[in-house]
Amino acid sequence: MRKSRREVVKMLSALGASVALAQHMHQQMPAQPAAPASLETIPAKAIPWDKGNCEFCEMPLKTPPPGAWMGRTFSPGFFEQTYSQIALKEAQKGKEAFHFESIACMVNYAWVYGLRDGVGTTFYVTDRGAYDPARGPEAVRLIPARQAVYLWGEKRGWVVMDAKIAAFSSQEAALAFARANPDLGRTRILDWQTLVDLAPLPEMNLVNLLAKHAGLLK
């Protein structure tokens, strides 16, 4: 069930100006229903790389050419490394899937609209450990979000939306990536349930995006 305006207003009031506080807001929200005994697995849908935008923040799914988006230049394959998807059993808003360029965007969108993995949906994330930025979209390998392991890295800007989270197929792969990239600063290994429990997750423009999707802003 989609979050009511009252719930989102309560959340935004608690957030104030500090996006980091969003990590603790799950303690103030109503308890979520118990997960079903059997989770549905819906096949991933085709990814609209060339024309697709993030359902939550509206950024391009595919890394834009230098200067093409807000005059900024990104390293090759930067956006695609955290591409995420909610595949739908039944179409919503005329779509078979919702597409996101950040894991945090997907989690936050699901939080606002009350979508649950395995209940008429399957959530997918890009396996960063198997991803080669030089190959871009063709190197994206999707794995079910519920089976993935997540690496949080302290460094700002190492993934889109400053969400600081990337997905891996195993803890070993996540730790290997962290060792190969020591400039990430402090790191933490998280699982899918932790991300869901902590929603809404901190990322750029979180307050405005939550308000927009709750219908509080146009």
Q: Which of 9-13, 139-143, 206-210 has the lowest mean pLDDT?
A: 9-13
Angle separating helix axes 103-113 and 206-213, nearest 10 degrees:
40
pLDDT digits (tens, 9 = 90+) for 88-111: 999 999 999 999 999 999 999 999
Other Cβ atoms less than 10 A from the Cβ of 46: the count is: 10
* 77: its two tokens: 């394959």
pLDDT for the residue numbered 2: 79
pLDDT digits (tens, 9 = 90+) for 31-44: 444 445 689 999 99
Strands (E), 4-136: 84-92, 95-100, 121-126
pLDDT for the residue numbered 186: 97
CA dist 22 and 184 (Å) reads 21
3-state secondary structure 2-16: CCCHHHHHHHHHHHC
Q: What are phi and psi of 204, to 5 degrees?
A: -60, 140
Name the residue with higher pLDDT: 16 or 187: 187
pLDDT for the residue numbered 26: 41
pLDDT digits (tens, 9 = 90+) for 45-76: 999 999 999 999 999 999 999 999 899 999 99
Domain boundaries, the chain: 5-26+41-213
Mean pLDDT of 104-126: 97
